A and B are shown apart, each in its own frame.
Chain A
Amino acid sequence: MEYWNAFWIGGLICALVQILMEKTKMMPGRIMVLLVCTGAVLGALQIYQPFADFAGAGANVPLLGFGNLLWKGVKEAVDDEGFIGIFMGGFKASAAGISAALVLSYIVSLFSKPQMKK
């Protein structure tokens, strides 16, 4: 059941965003920012976390989940450290994801090259 929820909710989010890609003139970068911000706002409104508890990776892996994670990190750091936490929490919470993306894409770039689109 856990897998099933992650699968259909993750798929649903991707499908909705695909509609944004196809039907609006927004560039991919803008859609990305929109998703992260929406995730943070939904997190702040206490909506995203219950949703993420239900859907697991289906809600955490898409960019909305990243926004939520940033919010969570900032909130916890502010609770622990006060004002300075605004600047620390986001990166601390997302450190694993960001570092993994950087390191893994570097490794991949060592043995693969972009090809022409067909």
Chain B
Amino acid sequence: MQQTGKQSLRFAEAPFIISSASVAGTKEGEGPLGAEFDVIGRDDRFGQETWEEAESTMQKEALTLALGKAHLKADEIRYLFAGDLLGQDIASSFGLMDFGIPLFGLYGACSTCGEALSLAAMTIAAGYADRAAAVTSSHFASAEKQFRFPLAYANQRPRSATWTVTGGGAYILAKKAAGGAFSGDGAAGSQNTGSGGCRIRIPGITTGKIVDFGIKDSMNMGAAMAPAACDLIAQHFEDFACGPECYDRIVTGDLGTVGQEILIDLLQKKGYDIKDRHEDCGIEIYDGASQGTGAGGSGCGCSAVTLSAHYLKMLEDGSLKKILFVPTGALLSPVSFNEGKSVPGIAHGVIIERG
């Protein structure tokens, strides 16, 4: 019985994350995690004419790198789960079409990284694929155009607004762990624990539902997403009959400083104290004081690059054993926003542990 509780799955055979890669923009490169990204663009155009093409290029590079690290070719990946923030998911479709991998295009706003990892893990655990990849991205300039104004319009940004992360992350998930130091050739499954050959796996997931607190301020997304994150985390604890103590860290996607405070408060009211182990990718990725990024980073790229570059490395070197990764998304569109609709939130929980 793999279904557990109301919204969760506990995989009988936990799929492994055999490799991952992160590609980030210049501002992210100058931030606190700068040294940890695989690739930092020399400028934010990534050699392209348009911002949308730049974002596609980040996805392409991230997946190419992740494949390279796992010593795999594109045709060895059975399914691709990918998404971004742009209308009709164009960063993914134009960035990934040349790989020729069967694709499921996803939209979960900034929670897409968790959605893609969940679906890839489910697909593998169910035996529908031996290997699958999850790719997500966001780009500051293309997101501004999609949700606010094109940069050419040169509008002023309020300081409370979050800053969309320029970055793309890719993950390769597989039924069997890679060999030592990613040198395995698929003869894996062996208990290879050679240098660097740690095995990171996804033993379970909790899928979030849409939570709408009626927040109408598109400049305060943290407040819109925090209730969704709270709902997801509380449900997760219930489904797995555990609490904050089961995890070394609970890592949300892009709540920012404002959302973090709300989340901790809301969970406290439900009887869970996560204060000492909560971290937020949006807060970690920038130095808010010196980089002028307001409440923190946001976007699908935010959690994608931070998980790959920062948290997976900490799981690999053993400084973390088990984390709950909860990317959060604010489900707004310029259309719904202009029509006076609220900004509903969603969050997806993925358990990631060192096997």
Chain A contact residues, CB within 8 Å of chain B: 21-22, 25, 28, 109, 114-118
What are some 28 contacts across the A-B interface (CB < 8 A)? A21-B156, A21-B158, A22-B158, A25-B217, A28-B149, A28-B155, A28-B156, A109-B152, A114-B141, A114-B150, A114-B151, A114-B152, A114-B154, A115-B151, A116-B25, A116-B26, A116-B27, A116-B43, A116-B44, A116-B140, A116-B141, A116-B151, A116-B166, A117-B140, A117-B151, A117-B157, A118-B27, A118-B292
Q: B219 at interface (Cβ–Cβ under 8 A)?
A: yes
Q: Mark B117-151, 1 if CB is under 8 A from A, else 0.
A: 00000000000000000000000110000000111
Q: Which residues of A contact B26 (CB under 8 A)?
A: 116
Chain B contact residues, CB within 8 Å of chain A: 25-27, 43-44, 140-141, 149-152, 154-158, 166, 217, 219, 292
Sorted from nearest, which 4 A-B pairs have the closest CB atoms? A114-B151, A114-B152, A116-B44, A28-B155
Q: Which residues of A contact B157 (CB under 8 A)?
A: 117
The chain B residue sitting closest to A109, CB to CB, is B152
The chain B residue sitting closest to A113, CB to CB, is B152
Q: Which residues of A contact B158 (CB under 8 A)?
A: 21-22
Helix, strand, loop or mixed for chain A's interface?
loop
Q: Which residues of A contact B27 (CB under 8 A)?
A: 116, 118
Q: Give CA–CA (A114, B154) in the complex, Å.
A: 9
The chain A residue sitting closest to B43, CB to CB, is A116
Q: Which residues of A contact B217 (CB under 8 A)?
A: 25
The chain B residue sitting closest to A22, CB to CB, is B158
Q: Which residues of A contact B152 (CB under 8 A)?
A: 109, 114
The chain B residue sitting closest to A116, CB to CB, is B44
Please tell me if the beta carbons of B219 and A25 are within 8 angstroms of each other in the complex: yes
Q: Which residues of B contact A109 (CB under 8 A)?
A: 152
In the assembled complex, how far is the CB of residue A32 from the closest CB belonging to chain B, in whole angstroms? 10
In the assembled complex, how far is the CB of residue B63 from the closest CB belonging to chain A, in whole angstroms? 24
The chain A residue sitting closest to B291, CB to CB, is A118
Q: Give CA–CA (A18, B231) in the complex, Å.
A: 38
Q: Which residues of B contact A115 (CB under 8 A)?
A: 151
Q: Which residues of B contact A21 (CB under 8 A)?
A: 156, 158
Q: Give CA–CA (A114, B44) in the complex, Å.
A: 12
Q: Give CA–CA (A117, B153) in the complex, Å.
A: 12
Q: Which residues of B contact A22 (CB under 8 A)?
A: 158
Q: Give CA–CA (A115, B150) in the complex, Å.
A: 11
With most chain A CB atoms within 10 A of its CB, the pick from B26, B27, B152, B155 is B152
In the assembled complex, how far is the CB of residue B34 from the closest CB belonging to chain A, in whole angstroms? 16
Q: Give CA–CA (A48, B124) in the complex, Å.
A: 70
In the assembled complex, how far is the CB of residue A69 from the closest CB belonging to chain B, in whole angstroms? 23
Q: Give CA–CA (A114, B153) in the complex, Å.
A: 9
In the assembled complex, how far is the CB of residue B47 from the closest CB belonging to chain A, in whole angstroms? 14
